[in-house]
Amino acid sequence: MLRTAVAGALLAAGLAVTSSGGDSAKADTNGKVTVVYDNAVKPKDRQAVAVVRKSRVLEQLAEWVNKSVALPHDLEVKVTDKVPPGVTDAVTQPDGRTIFVPPSFLTQIEGVLSDVVKTVKRPALFPKDSFNADDLTALSTQFVFGHEMGHALQRQLLLPNLGLEEDAADGFASFYTVNEVGPGPSLAAAILFDEIAREEGKLTLEGLSSDHPVTQQRVFNFLCYLEGSDPKRFHGPLVGAGYLPKTRAPLCPQAWAMLDFGWWTQLKPYFSGAFKDQGDKTQEKARDHLIAETKAFEKQLDELRSAQ
């Protein structure tokens, strides 16, 4: 899932531009994110593509980036079968200027989630009326696309990384969706990855040596950031209900505060003119929040260590 492509970009012809983000076109020379759905979709993939297209989850993030970030280059998001050789899932090209989303990958996600709704008990936190394959597909695609956008931002802006790029990409997916959308995408992605981990079965050498954390670990990372973003709201339904272990939970408020401060700080030099004031204030608030969470964590530390 969400591997990074090393192959060169294949420019596909015959694509229809169905939407483009960005509101202030006037004298704005920044790169823009556009989402392009190829009209030629195989019959077997039409349902999943229609679900994602109707949800506008790709366009929503495109619009957020266009509004907030001054990109040096355009970024084209292509939902198309015309992908570089070997690409089977969502990938970001090394220059960060193209993200490919193969329709068959969306069908694969929808297939896994169709099994989930038949076999997995709905977590009480996840709304009943969204616990169906279509809504779960749209929400998890929103998270997966956040991951790819994380790669694109890192590569276009040449952001300094202190850990693996894949962790930072997952982090951007949490940062964007938790702040701008709500808990739905993190929960749907956790549900999806949990099922994928089950299907993968026993850990293999390839899995352990991947540049991604192992799949089940990513589930807990997604839940940890969500819980940490608002423990008052999420502790009961995630930790109390047994989805996020009690051993991990105490670390999550500070982990979220670090991630939130980290991404606001990484993006700060690249805020668009229109977003700068709001972005700077949000970054300062995130800094204060991290300092407060670190102090709160320090207070609990003796108790937590003794309980281990």
Q: Which positions touch Zn ion (CB under 5 A)?
A: 2, 166, 169
For Zn ion, which is the closer residue by CB, 61 or 257? 61
Q: State the nearest-atom distance from the C-beta of 159 to Zn ion, in Å.
A: 14
Between CA 308 and CA 298 the distance in angstroms is: 16
What's the token pair of residue 67?
A: 């509004």
Between CA 285 and CA 231 the distance in angstroms is: 18
Q: State the nearest-atom distance from the C-beta of 122 to Zn ion, in Å.
A: 28
Q: State the nearest-atom distance from the C-beta of 289 to Zn ion, in Å.
A: 27
Q: State the nearest-atom distance from the C-beta of 292 to Zn ion, in Å.
A: 32
Query: Position 210: which residue type?
Result: S
For Zn ion, which is the closer residue by CB, 45 or 166? 166
For Zn ion, which is the closer residue by CB, 32 or 147? 147
Whether 98 and 9 have beta carbons less than 8 Å apart is answered as yes
Between CA 269 and CA 66 the distance in angstroms is: 15
For Zn ion, which is the closer residue by CB, 71 or 169? 169
For Zn ion, which is the closer residue by CB, 166 or 293? 166
Element (H, E) at 100: strand 98-101
Picking from 60, 56, 66, 87, the residue whose alpha carbon sits closest to that of residue 24 is 66
Sign, CA torsion 135/133/193/210 = negative
Q: State the nearest-atom distance from the C-beta of 282 to Zn ion, in Å.
A: 25
Whether 272 and 23 have beta carbons less than 8 Å apart is answered as no
Q: State the nearest-atom distance from the C-beta of 1 to Zn ion, in Å.
A: 8
Tell me the residue number closest to Zn ion, measured at CB: 2
DSSP output for 222-275: HHHHHHHH-HHHHIIIIIITTSS-TTTGGGHHHHHHHHHHHHHHHHGGGB-TTT
For Zn ion, which is the closer residue by CB, 59 or 166? 166
Helices (H), the chain: 46-55, 57-68, 103-119, 133-157, 165-180, 184-200, 205-208, 215-229, 231-234, 252-267, 276-307
For Zn ion, which is the closer residue by CB, 166 or 260? 166
Q: State the nearest-atom distance from the C-beta of 163 to Zn ion, in Å.
A: 13
Beta bridge partners of 33: 75
Q: State the nearest-atom distance from the C-beta of 213 to Zn ion, in Å.
A: 11
For Zn ion, which is the closer residue by CB, 2 or 33? 2
246 burial class (0-12, 13-18, 19+ CB within 10 angstroms)?
exposed
